[in-house]
Structure 1
Amino acid sequence: MTDQPVYDSGLIAHGIDTTRPSVARVYDYFLGGKDNYESDRELYRQIMKVAPEAPEWARANRRWLKEVVTWLAEDRGVRRFIDAGSGLPTVENTHQIAQRANPACSVVYVDNDPSVVAHGRALLLDNDRTQFVAADLTEPDDVLADQAIADLLAPGEPVALVMALMLHHIADYDETLRIAERYVDALPPGSYLAITHACNPGDGGAVDVLVTELMEKVKHAFPTLAFRSVAEISSLFGGMEILDPGVVRLVDWHVPGGRVDEEPEPGVRDAIYGGVARKI
């Protein structure tokens, strides 16, 4: 747990409310982080009762992020990255992955969670190619008007926009589609969009049963959480070309032309899907 001082109201510096769980802090706890509070750990315990594999979902998302960013920076020559809904800084952040592949890469993080804002701005201290924008991703016009984002989206080079485990926190599908379309429209030709998203296949199987129960357990804390079908997740890429292997479970995802290193165990209840698309 963080050692920041907590006031009687449950607030700490930067307006962080410790009495209510935070998406970013719960995810941080799944990854073994220490920037969390009892409210976050209590929700973690509730989730674990229903979905004990949830920490592996978080780790799989980090593995996917590393693979995607490395591939884009090394093989596709992408030097501009936007990590939208970046969450708390942890090991293997987007800027570390991208700049290890190519030190010339520029990265802008975007998030409005007070916990993330407080920690994210520390990224600026010793890295002049990394910036942090405190903004609400559900207001794309405001995000796109920020100078750091506008500079990155300037014509001339492709941009990789990463939206990992973010869009499923917007309850209304039509609104989610509208927001995604606005960001896709702003990307220069040749750019990439990488998405991971909570999925409910809706087939009555084990994953369907799992996520239905999980949503009921966490709706008090995350009332806007929406598990969507593969078709709905795929539609968030708009008219972009979804690259092989398509929108699949993260354990099945690999770079185009690559292969899965390990076959997943049969019967794995994996509710996180991902994909990468290119704007023609």
Structure 2
Amino acid sequence: MGESGNVPPGVDPTVPSAARMYDYGLGGKDNFEIDRQIGDQMRAKFPQLSDLARGNRNCLIRCVEYLARDRGIKRFLDIGSGLPTQENVHQVIQRVHPDARTVYVDSDPTARVHALALLDGDPRTSFIQADAADPAAILNHPDTQELLSAGEPVAVLWFAVAHFLPDSADPRGAIARLMAAVPSGSVLALSHVTSDGIDPDVDRGFRDGGFYDRVPTPLVMRTEKQVAALFGGLPIVGGRLVEVGEWGRTDAGAPRTGTKPLRALFGYAVKP
């Protein structure tokens, strides 16, 4: 990607995309020059961003493996799935349950083009182009209705997406509506960057660097309390959020203390 002849319909290659910048941060190739420019500028100022992106992705993989293997979940709804990369959700799940059903959701047209190419010929995996803040569009889609029709527990994944939704988009309400539609035993798994415990100059640096103004979906840092509130009262397993780089790792050490340049938190909850 990156040449004008390879631009998917509906995509403006001069406007940066959070999905493509995330892909670039993970070492992917599905991005444009504008995504690489801003990504490089952000990493020059905040070199921990790539580690945070990889830590979030690894947490997602560990979470999906756990939910499939240990909780026996076979139906996954991945909100804000982004661009396909290595170890995609449906691939991880199908190693445990070959008959597992996965529905990806993302608003980025680039994600749609690449997801459809990746999923061609896989009848148990589909992609919906919809906004994470529009639960009605997601729930009313035939693929989601089919996912829910069996009445089996569903894992609803919100990895690194709610922090691109301002409070005005009501991410808590969107999550609550989706969780109201899934059966008992379903799981909400969520990761989110936090302003707690980080260098106080980081958020100011993002703003002063003009990064918020140049990206259509700017990062919204929330406190740990605000991130926990996104669960809408569902009890977080373990009683608290944890670092994305620590959850599910057998080699994880004692909880880290002190200020860090950037932090992302993870938690999951089971619907009664």
Superposition TM-score, scaled by structure 2 size: 0.91
Residue 252 of structure 2 corresponds to 261
1:236 to 192, 214, 230: 230
Residue 271 of structure 2 corresponds to 279
Residue 141 of structure 2 corresponds to 146
Residue 250 of structure 1 corresponds to 244
Q: Is 1:219 aligned to residue 212 of structure 2? A: yes
- Residue deviations 1:141-192, cap 9 Å, x none? 1110001111212353100011111111111267122112111211211100
Give the Cα separation in 2 of the matches to 1:98 and 1:215: 38
Give the Cα separation in 2 of the matches to 1:181 and 1:265: 31
Superposition pairs for residues 13-162 of structure 1, below 5 Å?
A: 13-154=8-149, 156-162=151-157
Q: Unaligned stretches of 5+ in structure 2?
A: none
Q: Is 1:166 aligned to residue 161 of structure 2? A: yes
After TM superposition, which residue ranges in structure 1, 4 or more long, deviate above 6 angstroms?
A: none
Q: What amino acid does structure 1 have at the position aligned with 2:5?
A: P
Secondary structure class of the residue paired with 1:160? strand
Range moving further from structure 2, 52-61 or 214-223: 214-223
Give the Cα separation in 2 of the matches to 1:235 and 1:149: 25
> Structure 1 residues 173, 236: CA separation in 2 closer, same or farther (over 3 Å shift)?
farther
Q: Unaligned stretches of 5+ in structure 1?
A: 7-11
Please tell me the root mean square deviation across aligned C-alpha atoms, in Å. 2.1
> Structure 1 residues 28, 263: CA separation in 2 closer, same or farther (over 3 Å shift)?
farther
CA contact (8 A) 2:77 2:102 kept: yes
CA contact (8 A) 1:242 1:275 kept: yes
Give the Cα separation in 2 of the matches to 1:278 and 1:105: 19
Give the Cα separation in 1 of the matches to 2:241 and 2:28: 28
**Count of aligned positions:** 269
> Structure 1 residues 214, 76: CA separation in 2 closer, same or farther (over 3 Å shift)?
same
Give the Cα separation in 1 of the matches to 2:81 and 2:115: 9
CA contact (8 A) 2:202 2:262 kept: no
Give the Cα separation in 1 of the matches to 2:240 and 2:250: 13
CA contact (8 A) 2:246 2:252 kept: no
CA contact (8 A) 1:50 1:210 kept: no
CA contact (8 A) 1:26 1:36 kept: yes
Give the Cα separation in 2 of the matches to 1:215 and 1:245: 33
Residue 5 of structure 2 corresponds to 5
- Residue deviations 1:206-232, cap 9 Å, x none? 433223322443111235421001111
- Residue deviations 1:75-126, cap 9 Å, x none? 1000000111000000011001111121121100011201101111113313
CA contact (8 A) 2:2 2:33 kept: no
Q: What amino acid does structure 2 have at the position aligned with 1:261?
A: A
Give the Cα separation in 2 of the matches to 1:161 and 1:195: 8
Superposition TM-score, scaled by structure 1 size: 0.89
Comparing both chains, which one has the higher relative contact order based on Cα–Cα distances under 8 Å and sequence gaps of 6 or more? 2
